[in-house]
Amino acid sequence: MWRRDMSWGTERERGNGKGERALPFPARIARVVRRMIGAPDYEAYLDHCRTAGHPPTLGEREYVAEFFASKGDGVRCC
C-alpha cells in the first residue's frame, strides 16, 4: 500500500500535491529528457523553491552557470 502511494508522492515532491504529474504531457517529457541527459531545468528549480516555500536564490543565468560548472566535477566512465 505505502509503496504505491510513494510512487506518486515522489513525483509531487513533499506536500503541495502538484508537480511533474500536473504538467502537460510535452512539458513532462521535456523534463524527463532534461534530467536523463543532465541538462539544467530552471522551471524545475522554481517549482522546487515554491514547494519548499522559499524564494529562488538564483536567477536563470546564475542557475545555468552554476549547473554547468558543477558538471565539470563529474566523471564520465571509460
Binding of residue 18 to other proteins (CB under 8 A): no
Of the pair 22, 68, the CB lying nearest other proteins is at: 68
- Taking the complex as a whole, the smallest distance from the CB of residue 44 to other proteins amounts, in Å, to 6
Q: Which amino acid is at 14?
A: R
- Contacts of range 37-44, beta carbons closer than 8 Å, 24 or more positions apart: 38/71, 38/74, 40/64, 40/67, 40/68
- Taking the complex as a whole, the smallest distance from the CB of residue 21 to other proteins amounts, in Å, to 10
Q: Which amino acid is at 48?
A: H
Closest by CA to 64, choosing from 31, 41, 32, 37, is 41
Interface residue with other proteins among 25, 53, 55, 77 (CB under 8 A) is 77
Site of interaction with other proteins (CB under 8 A): 1-3, 5-6, 8-11, 13-15, 20, 30, 32-42, 44-45, 47-49, 52, 60-61, 63-78
